[in-house]
Amino acid sequence: MNTPELGLPMPVPANGLPARVRIHEVGARDGLQNEKATVPTAVKAEFVRRLAGTGLTTIEATSFVHPKWVPQLADAEELYPEISGLPVSLPVLVPNEKGLDRALALGARRVAVFASATESFARANLNRTVDEALAMFEPVVTRAKGQDVHVRGYLSMCFGDPWEGPVQVPQVVRVCRALLDMGCDELSLGDTIGVATPGHVTALLGALSEAGVPVSALGVHFHDTYGQALANTLAALQQGVTTVDASAGGLGGCPYAKSATGNLATEDLVWMLRGLGIDTGVDLGRLVATSVWMAAHLGRPSPSRTVRALSHQES
């Protein structure tokens, strides 16, 4: 066993887990899209710069969606050039060709389309049926791949849906396969409202593997509504997943899914991975400082337990 550092857990590895995990940081996008107040562009740019300074390598920056649908991210054109020179990957969300055009015009090299496993959320989030949304993504993915742009395919409501209740595994597998067959480089399995539990995660990953979806192409995206996000992450790591989405300070939610709360906090994830001896390349102290700084801008404390414990932030 290694000696613990102050403010860090003692690294005690467990069997059957990966040596390294890539964190896909979504605080600037999934987090800020759900804030009541719109954060000034300069503060967002500084947030992304500080996140890049923590060792995070993938920082989802913003969305090129209709500004009326997500007003908090309507400044994508102003923000992206402020941060595009950073030595990190900066994926952006694009729902359609119009969004792709806007992103490519600014030099984006990583985009993400975002599908739904359920009809209700496809309608609420994209004004489309599930299959109409897939048809909307097809030219986006084809054109992006034609320019060697990396494409992530999000899939929301993989476990439960606020209108439809529990979501059946085959329903999720079908849309995952469609996204992969379309040419997406990776998929992110979204528990948009945070209702998943570890057995359900294991069952979905098993079914995807049986359907020929390689685990190396999968990331997990857990919201922490019921405090299950870390347990679900561990279940996913045990199945071989090595890409985990998280949001600095636990910012987040989804403006089109009422019961969604913040994502798994990146600090809570880093604390657990560090304790398991899994490398992330992230400096936890710097990350906590970044979230405390952001919380001051938002006027409320971070919900992350690790941020609170390490910063003695008032709740």
- The catalytic residues are 254
The item of Mg ion, ligand HMG, none sharing an interface with residue 63, based on CB under 5 to 8 Å by kind, is: ligand HMG
Which range binds ligand HMG by CB under 6 A, 36-44, 95-103, 212-220, 304-312?
95-103
The correct pick among 58, 118, 156, 225 for binding ligand HMG (CB under 6 A) is 156
- 30 lines the binding site for Mg ion (CB under 5 A): yes
The yes or no reply on residue 127 touching ligand HMG (CB under 6 A) is yes
Span of 24-32, 69-77, 111-119, 211-219 interacting with Mg ion by CB under 5 A: 24-32
SS3 for the chain, per residue? CCCCCCCCCCCCCCCCCCCECEEEECHHHHHHHHCCCCCCHHHHHHHHHHHHCCCCCEECCEECCCCCCCHHHCCHHHHHHHHCCCCCECCEECCCHHHHHHHHHCCCCEEEEEEECCHHHHHHHHCCCHHHHHHHHHHHHHHHHHCCCEEEEEEECCCEECCCEECCHHHHHHHHHHHHHHCCCEEEEEECCCCCCHHHHHHHHHHHHHCCCCHHHEEEEEECCCCCHHHHHHHHHHCCCCEEEEEHHHCCCCCCCCCCCCECEHHHHHHHHHHCCCECCCCHHHHHHHHHHHHHHHCCCCCCHHHHHHHCCCC
Q: Residue 274, interface with ligand HMG (CB under 6 A)?
A: no
Question: Is residue 126 close enough to count as binding ligand HMG by CB under 6 A?
Answer: yes
Which window, 46-54, 57-65, 198-206, 302-310, contacts ligand HMG (CB under 6 A)? 57-65
Residue closer to Mg ion by CB (options 119, 224) is 224
| Contact call for residue 271 and ligand HMG (CB under 6 A) | no
Q: How far is the CB of 287 from ligand HMG (least distance, A)?
A: 20
If one asks whether residue 224 binds Mg ion (CB under 5 A), the answer comes out as no
Q: Which residues contact ligand HMG (rule: CB under 6 A)? A: 30, 33, 63-66, 69-70, 93, 95-96, 98-99, 114, 125-127, 154, 156, 190, 192, 221, 223, 254, 256
Binding site for Mg ion (CB under 5 A): 30
